[in-house]
Structure 1
Amino acid sequence: MNLYLRYFDNEVLVHSVEEALDFLCSIPNIQVTPDLEDDIRNYASSDVFYPKRYKIRPRVYFIVIKTEAATMADFKQKKALRPMVENTVRKENPAVMHLNEEREGWYEGELNFKRVVLIPSSGKHEYRDTHFVVQCKAISGWDCYNRIVDYLKERVDGRSQFPSAKGKNFSFKYLGMWK
Structure 2
Amino acid sequence: MNLYLRYFDSETLVSSVEEAIDFLSSIDEIGMNPMLEADIREYAASDVFYPKRYKIRPRVYFIIIKTEAATMQDFKEKRALHSADDGLKERPAVPAVLKLNEVRDGWYEGELNFKRVLLVPGTGKFQYRDTLFVAQVRAISGQDCYNRIVDHLRQRVDDRSQFPSAKGKNFKFRFLGDAKPLKA
**TM-score, length basis structure 1:** 0.73
Judge conservation of contact 1:163–1:170 (CA < 8 Å) in 2.
Answer: no
- Retained in 2: the 8 A contact 1:107–1:176? no
- Residue number in structure 1 paired with 2:138: 137
In the alignment, what sits opposite 2:174? 172
8 A Cα contact 1:51 1:63, kept in partner: yes
Gaps of 5+ in 2: none
| Distance (whole Å) between structure 1 residues aligned to residue 146 and residue 58 of structure 2 | 45
Contact 2:165 2:171 in 1 (8 A): yes
**Over residues 82-101 of structure 1, what are the superposed CA-to-partner deviations in whole Å (9 max), with x where a residue is unaligned?**
1332699997799x859735
Mapped contact 2:138–2:179 kept (Cα < 8 A): no
Partner Cα distance (2:178, 2:85) in 1: 38
Matches of 1:82 and 1:176 in 2, distance apart?
39
Structure 1 residues 48-87: Cα deviation after superposition (integer angstroms, max 9, x where no partner): 2222222223443221111111222221221111133269
Give the partner amino acid of 2:131.
T
Partner of 2:42, secondary structure, is helix
Q: Is the 8 A contact 2:113 2:131 kept in 1?
A: yes
CA contact (8 A) 2:99 2:142 kept: no
The separation in 1 between residues aligned to 2:17 and 2:177, in whole angstroms, is 60
Matched, 1:67 2:67: yes
The one-letter code of the counterpart of 1:160 is Q
Deviation at residue 2 of structure 1 after TM alignment: 0.9
Pairs within 5 Å for 1:1-179: 1-85=1-85, 100-104=102-106, 106-113=107-114, 115=115, 117=117, 126=128, 128-153=129-154, 155-157=157-159, 160-165=162-167, 167=169, 169-174=171-176, 177=179
Gaps of 5+ in 1: none
Name which of structure 1's ranges 77-86 and 156-165 shifts more when overlaid on structure 2.
Answer: 156-165
The secondary structure found in structure 2 opposite 1:69 is: coil
State the TM-score, normalizing by the size of structure 2: 0.71
> Shift of residue 29 of structure 1?
0.9
Aligned length: 175
Structure 1 residue matching 2:29: 3-state secondary structure: coil
Is the 1:5–1:65 Cα contact (8 Å) retained in structure 2?
A: yes
Residues 144-172 of structure 1: CA distance to partner in whole angstroms, max 9, x if unpaired? Answer: 22211333455554672423357563123
